[in-house]
Structure 1
C-alpha cells in the first residue's frame, strides 16, 4: 500500500447556511413506514411491501431459490441510479446548474475535437475564398444555426420561429448560392440580431463583440459558440422552472429507483445496516404490547439515525459509505474536510486568544482579521500531514497579527518567551489527539446535533468560544442538514426495517 493511502486524513476520527431555518429532519413518525403509496390494508394493518423487499434483499429471510438477473436488468438499474443522482443533485443543491463539458486538457479527446473544428473552419474559409465562392459548407452551417435558434426559443415564440424559417429558408439560400447572389454576411447579421433578442443579459457582451467582428468566418464561429451558451442558459432556465415539481416528486422517484437497485443488488443494504446498528443498543428491552412497541421502534430509529448522521462527519478513509448515501459521498467528503479545517481554525483561535490576553479577546475586529488570515493559510489543507506543514507559516502570521494589534491598541507587546510558547502551542495543533482540538470538534458536532434534534426552526446557540466562526458553521450546518433531511425522508422506511429486525420482538 502506498504512503498516500496510508496517510491519515485531516481531522481523522478525533474524539469527540442556515442554523435552524433550513429543512427539518423528518422523524420516523413523520415519514411513511408503509408501502410507497402509504396505503393501509383492509384490516387496518400496515402494508409492509417495502419491508418485504428489504428483508429479501438483505438476506434476513429463510433460504429461498437463487434469483438470477439479466445484464439488461443490471444496466437498467444502473441507468436508474444515474437518473436518481441527477434528481438528488437538484434537490440538495440550491445552486445546481448544468455546465458546459469540455474535453479534458491535453487528452486525445481534446486533440481530435480541436482538429475537427479547425478542419471545418479552414474548409469554410477556403470555399468562401474561391472564385466564384463555394457554399457547400456554408449551407450546412446555416442549417445548423437555424436549428440552434429553434433550440433557444420558448413555445410562445411562434412568430419569431416563423420569421426565422422564412429568412433562413434552405431552398431559398441554395438558389441564391447557385445564382451567385448569396450574401453570407447579411445572414450573419440577421442571426446576431435574433440572438440579441433571445439571449440572457449575461451574453450581451458576447453579442456586442460579434457585431464588431469583421471576418465573416470568425463571426459565424462566434455565433455557434454563443448559441451553445444560450442553449445551456435555456436548459438551466427550464430546470429552474421545473425545480419545484422535481422536488415535489423526488422522494417517490428516489425510492423507486433505489428499490430497482435493490432488486438486482445482492445484500444491497449491507453497509447501511452496519452503519445504523452501530448506534443501536440491541440489549434494550422492548415493551410487551404492540402499540407501545411501534412507538419504541420509532424512538430507537430516530435516536440511532441522528447519531449515525453525525457519524458521517468522522468517516474513515476507505470505508464504504452506507448505500443510502452513496450519491452524496463526494458532498459528505467535502463537508467532512470543511469541518476538519474549521476545527483547526477554531483551535488555533482559542489557543491564540488564551495567550494574547483579555484585552485582545474583546476586540471583534482583531478576532475577525485573525480568523481570516488563518483560514487563508489553511484553505488547501486536506490531511494532518499537510496541516503540520502549514502550521509553521500560520504561527508566524498569528504572532505577527498579535503584535500588530497590541501596538495598534497600545497594549503591552508579548515578550520572546510568550512568543515561543504561543508558537509551540500552535505547532502542536497538528496532533490528532490535541485536547483543545478534540474539544472544539466535539462542540461543533454537538452544535450540529442540536440543529438536527431541534423540533423547531429556532436559531441555535453557537458553541462557546466559536462565535467568530458563526458564518462558517452555519454554512456547513445548512448543507449537511439539507442532505440528511432529504435522505431521511427517502430512506426512513429502510432504517425502520433495519432496526426492527435487529431488536427482539415483544413477548
Structure 2
C-alpha cells in the first residue's frame, strides 16, 4: 500500500477540513454559534436562532417569505459551493472544455454556425479584391485571446502584440490592399509557441506546417481555447491551497444561505441521520456526563449513517448535505459492489480449487485480473447476473490451466458443475459468501473512519488480493465523509441532540 493507503485515517494538527480525519463534535464546535469560545472550551448549548430556524428544529417561528432574487442568489451560491467542494475532495480536479452532446440540436446549431463563419471568411478572401471584413473581426478576437493567456509580468509581450496587431493599422492595410493575412498568422503562431505549455507543442508544430490560411486560423482559435484552459488550470493549482484553507467556512456560509430560503432544507438529512440514533439509552443526570453522552451519540450516529451511504437505494435522493457528492457516492457504491462480487468469486473459486492452488500468488493475481475485466462494466445486480455465466467459464478455464501447469490433479465433472453453479448464484443478494464479503468491506470502511491514530488498518480476512482496490475506494470515501462532517457537524449535532432523551 502507498503511504496514503497505509493510514487512511491519519490526522494533522493543522487540519483545515480537507484531510482524512473525521472530526468529532468537540472539535467542530469548540466555539459558540456566534463565534465566541466558551471558557471551558466546550460547545455552548445556546444554539443561535439562525441554526435553529435553518435546520428546522423549531416550529415557533412565524412564516417567512422570500423573493425570487433571494432564491436565485441561493442557487448561485450552491453552484459556487459545488465548485469549491469539487476542488477540495478531488486532487485531480481540472477545468474541462465543454462541448455540446453529440447528435443534439445544440451540437448541430454550433457546428452550423462555425462552418458558416469559416465559409464566409473563405469567400470574402477569395473576392477580387479581397474583402477583409470578417478577417478584421477574427484578428481582433485572436488579439484578445493572446492577452487572456498572458501573465501579469508579460508586459513587453503585451505591448508588442498591441503594436503588431494594431486594429487601425491592419484596417488601413486592408483598405490599401496591402494586408498580408498569412504574415499575421505566422506572427500569432510564434507568440503562441512562446506562451503555450509543453503539452501544446505538437499542436503548434502542426499549425506551422499548415498551408491553407483558413485552416491555420481555425487551428489558432482552437489552440488558443486550449491555452486559456491551461492557464485557468494553472491558476487554479496555484490558489488551491487558499481555497482548501477557506473551504469549510465558505461551504457553511453558502449552505446557510440556502437554508435561509429553504425552510425544509434538512428534511432528508434528519430522516437519514435519525435512523441511526439510539433513543432507548437512559441519559445521565449529571450535566457534564450528559454532554459527553450527547457527543458519543452524535459520533456513533454519524459514523453509522456515513456507512449507510454505501448501500443507498438508487431510487432514493441523498441527504441534502451530500447532494454535491451524489455522483461520487454513486460511483463508489458501484465500485464497492463490483469489488464485493470479485471478492466473492475469488473465495468461491479458491475453496473449490483446492489448497494447492490457494497458495500460488501468481494464479490468484491472474484469476483476479480476468474476473475484474469481465466485471468492469457492471452497474447493478441485473448486469452481474447476465455476465456471471461467462465469468464461470473463464474461472473454470483458469483453474484447469493452472492445475495442468503445476501438475495438480484436475477437477472432475461434478466439481466443475458445482463451481459453475456456485458462481452463477452470486447474483443473489442473499448469497451467504457475498453477504459476508460485503459485511467485511463495510467493517473495513468503518474502522477507517472511526480511527483517530496513524496505525495501518488491517485488510479484511480473505480479501488481501484486493488490498489496492479496497484502499483506493476507502481513501475516496474517507475524504468525502471527513470533509462533509467538518462542514456540517453543527447540523448533525443539533439534529441528534434534539432527538435524544433529556436528563431527569
Structures share a fold, TM > 0.5? yes
Q: Quote the offset at 1:317 in angstroms.
A: 2.2
Partner of residue 337, structure 2 = 340
Q: CA deviation at 1:239?
A: 0.6
Query: How many aligned positions are there?
Result: 491
Find the counterpart in structure 1 of residue 180 from structure 2: 183
In 1: Cα distance, 2:193 partner to 2:416 partner: 62
- Match of 1:435? 432
Alpha-carbon shift at residue 269 of structure 1 (Å):
1.1
The TM-score normalised by the length of structure 2 is: 0.94
Cα deviation code 1:303-355 (max 9, x no counterpart): 11111110100111222211111111111111111101100000000000010
Alignment match, 2:135? 138
Could you tell me which of 51, 57, 60 is aligned with 2:57?
60
Contact 1:34–1:50 (CA under 8 A) maintained in structure 2: no
**Could you say if the C-alpha distance between residues 300 and 43 of structure 1 is closer, same or farther in structure 2, counting changes exceeding 3 Å?**
closer
Aligned: 1:219 with 2:216:
yes
In structure 2, C-alpha distance between the alignment counterparts of 1:446 and 1:429, rounded to whole Å: 21
Gaps of 5+ in 1: 1-16
Structure with the greater relative contact order (CA < 8 A, sep ≥ 6): 1 or 2?
1
| 1:361 pairs with 2:358 | yes
1:410 has 2:397 as partner: no
Q: 1:138-287 alignment to 2 at 5 Å?
A: 138-287=135-284
Query: For the Cα contact (< 8 Å) 2:66–2:261, is it kept in 1?
Result: yes
1:94 maps to 2:81: no
2:183 & 2:62 partners in 1: Cα distance?
Answer: 72
Question: 1:471 — aligned with what?
Answer: 468
Hey, what does 1:18 align to over in structure 2? 5
Match of 1:128 in 2: 125
1:111 corresponds to: 108
Question: Does the Cα contact within 8 Å between 1:391 and 1:426 map onto a contact in 2?
Answer: yes
Counterpart CA distance in 1 for 2:383 and 2:211 is: 52
Determine if contact 2:29/2:43 at 8 Å carries over to the other structure.
no
**Moved runs in structure 1, 4+ residues, more than 6 A?**
41-45
Secondary structure of the residue aligned to 1:191 is: helix
- Using the size of structure 1 for normalisation, the TM-score is 0.94
Retained in 2: the 8 A contact 1:33–1:496?
no
- C-alpha RMSD over aligned residues: 1.7
Tell me the CA shift for residue 408 of structure 1.
1.3
Classify 1:154/1:47 alpha carbon distance in 2 versus 1 (closer, same or farther; 3 Å): farther
CA offset digits 1:130-169 (Å, max 9, x no partner): 1111111111101000000000011111111111111111
Question: What's the secondary structure of 2:28's corresponding residue?
Answer: coil
Structure 2: distance between partners of 1:189 and 1:62: 70
Is structure 2 residue 284 aligned with structure 1 residue 297?
no
CA change 1:223–1:499 in 2 (3 A) is: same
Residues 365 and 51 of structure 1, relative CA distance in 2, 3 Å threshold? farther
1:311 matched to 2:305: no
Q: Which moved more, 1:29-38 or 1:304-313?
A: 29-38
1:77 corresponds, among 63, 71, 74, to 74
1:375 maps to 2:362:
no
